[in-house]
């Protein structure tokens, strides 16, 4: 296990902004994670665990601690039933590679999450999801190092506090756990319609009536390629803002002025409004603010065209949030985490 010093984090995150990490190391086992935490505690050094760097924003001052890159591998069948398969996945596995392997096994449950960058261990942190699926739908449990108790624990799905793009790992347990593996249950039946609207439209446009996990994966990859820029070419973090969640009374007020506002039903009588639609209605789609370009095809995406600092990104973000607040009285939230 090698520990490197003064590492530019912009080279390890897809927005390509921010300062340096004081220390950085890769870990390939749970034991290495525990060792690092114990040593860091003795030196009073903070720790941040980095997956693929696709959902992280780094401030200009960088990180005055140790950044761990999770490289723990593993893809094991732990239960095979007539209708379903349970898999244990190493936290450092590349998420899209995991999806491809499950699709190759003709399993359904995560195929609509194809193309999402990052690692398997990062998936529960923000309850990643796309096109009608999210990790909370299939996650049974996860194993993690608990830095508070210096022990390894198993958390059940119900322990994770999952909600839309959120979990305890972004809330009350921020920084406490390092996810070393996830256990998911997938199914052997074919994907069943109705699918997410964009997927339905793609399938209809291409006259596809036979649904398999590979068909859905191919459709999602094609949709994403059209709507989401490749971060290797155009620096971005995917969807920069969460979709807005509003109460019924708020939606009633909004419909008085915007009768065509798109919505999706959510639990507890609330509604999801696509934030990309809000940004577009505010006239910001396609604009460039402080070197950050609001993607022409998907206003949720901010592309780093010429920004040179976190301060540039923060200025653009705050202008967008302010414009939506002023026009719709809705407070939209940033999706990527910050360090």
pLDDT tens column, 62-75: 999 999 999 999 99
Name the fold adopted by 75-187: 3.30.465
Q: What is the pLDDT of residue 55?
A: 85
Q: What is the pLDDT of residue 65?
A: 95
Residue 73's SS3 state is coil
Backbone angles phi, psi at 212, to 5 degrees: -130, 165
Q: What is the pLDDT of residue 329?
A: 93
Q: What b/e readout covers 140-171, taking b as 16+ CB neighbours within 10 angstroms?
A: ebbbbbbbeeeeeeebebeebbbebbbbbbbe
Band (268; pLDDT cuts 50, 70, 90): confident
Q: Which of 71, 165, 217, 317 is catalytic?
A: 165
Cα–Cα distance, 48 to 249 (Å, whole number) = 40
Q: What is the pLDDT of residue 227?
A: 84
For range 22-49, the mean pLDDT? 93
Question: Which of 24-33, 258-267, 315-324 has the weakest average pLDDT?
Answer: 258-267
Q: What is the pLDDT of residue 327?
A: 94
Residue 165 has pLDDT above 80, yes or no: yes
Do β-strands 337-338 and 56-57 pair in parallel, antiparallel, or remain unpaired?
parallel
Residue 54 has pLDDT above 90, yes or no: no
Q: Which of 111, 134, 143, 335 is catalytic?
A: 335
**Residue 239 annotated in active site:** yes
Delimiting residues of CATH 3.30.43.10 domain(s) in the chain: 3-70
Residue 1 has pLDDT above 90, yes or no: no
Residue 314: partners with Cβ closer than 8 Å, 6 or more residues away: none
The pTM of this model reads: 0.82
Q: What is the pLDDT of residue 337?
A: 87
Residue 24 has pLDDT above 80, yes or no: yes
For range 290-305, the mean pLDDT? 95
Domain 3-70 has CATH 3.30.43.10: yes
**Residue 165 annotated in active site:** yes
Band (143; pLDDT cuts 50, 70, 90): very high
Delimiting residues of CATH 3.90.78.10 domain(s) in the chain: 244-338
Instruction: Determine the Cα angle at 99 with ends 96 and 102, to 5°.
Output: 155
* CATH (one of 3.60.15.10, 3.40.366.30, 3.90.78.10, 1.10.3720.10) for 244-338: 3.90.78.10
For range 166-180, the mean pLDDT? 93
Band (82; pLDDT cuts 50, 70, 90): very high
For range 295-302, the mean pLDDT? 94
The mean of the pLDDT values for the chain is 94
Q: What is the pLDDT of residue 51?
A: 81
Cα–Cα distance, 64 to 45 (Å, whole number) = 8
Delimiting residues of CATH 3.30.465.10 domain(s) in the chain: 75-187
Residue 200 has pLDDT above 90, yes or no: yes
**Residue 97 annotated in active site:** no
For range 89-111, the mean pLDDT? 97
């Amino acid at each position: 296990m090698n520990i490197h010093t003064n590492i530019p984090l912009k080279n390890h995150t897809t927005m390509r902004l921010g300062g340096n990490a004081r220390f950085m190391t890769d870990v390939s086992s749970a034991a290495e994670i525990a060792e690092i935490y114990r040593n860091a505690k003795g030196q009073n050094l903070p720790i941040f665990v980095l997956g693929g760097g696709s959902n992280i924003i780094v401030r200009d001052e960088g990180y005055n601690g140790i950044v761990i890159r999770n490289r723990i591998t593993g893809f094991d069948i732990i239960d095979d039933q007539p209708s379903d398969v349970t898999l244990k996945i190493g936290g450092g596995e590349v998420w899209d590679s995991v999806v491809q392997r499950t699709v190759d096994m003709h399993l359904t449950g995560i195929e609509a999450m194809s193309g999402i960058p990052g690692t398997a261990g990062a998936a529960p942190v923000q309850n990643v999801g796309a096109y009608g699926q999210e990790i909370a739908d299939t996650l049974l449990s996860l194993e993690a190092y608990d830095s508070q108790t210096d022990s390894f624990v198993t958390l059940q799905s119900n322990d994770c506090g999952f909600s839309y793009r959120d979990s305890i790992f972004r809330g009350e347990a921020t920084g406490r756990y390092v996810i070393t593996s996830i256990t998911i249950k997938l199914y052997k039946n074919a994907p069943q319609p109705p699918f997410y609207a964009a997927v339905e439209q793609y399938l209809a446009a291409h006259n596809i009536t036979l649904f398999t996990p590979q068909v859905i994966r191919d459709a999602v990859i094609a949709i994403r390629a059209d709507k989401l820029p490749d971060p290797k070419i155009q620096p971005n973090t995917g969807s920069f803002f969460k979709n807005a969640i509003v109460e019924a009374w708020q939606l009633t007020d909004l419909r008085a002025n915007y009768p065509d506002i798109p919505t999706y039903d959510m639990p507890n009588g609330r509604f999801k409004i696509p934030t990309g639609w809000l940004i577009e209605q505010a006239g910001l789609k396609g604009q460039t603010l402080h070197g950050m370009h609001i993607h022409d095809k998907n206003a949720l995406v901010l592309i780093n065209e010429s920004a040179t600092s976190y301060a540039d990104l923060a200025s653009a973000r705050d202008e967008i949030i302010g414009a939506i607040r002023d026009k719709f009285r809705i407070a939209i939230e940033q999706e990527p985490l910050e360090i």
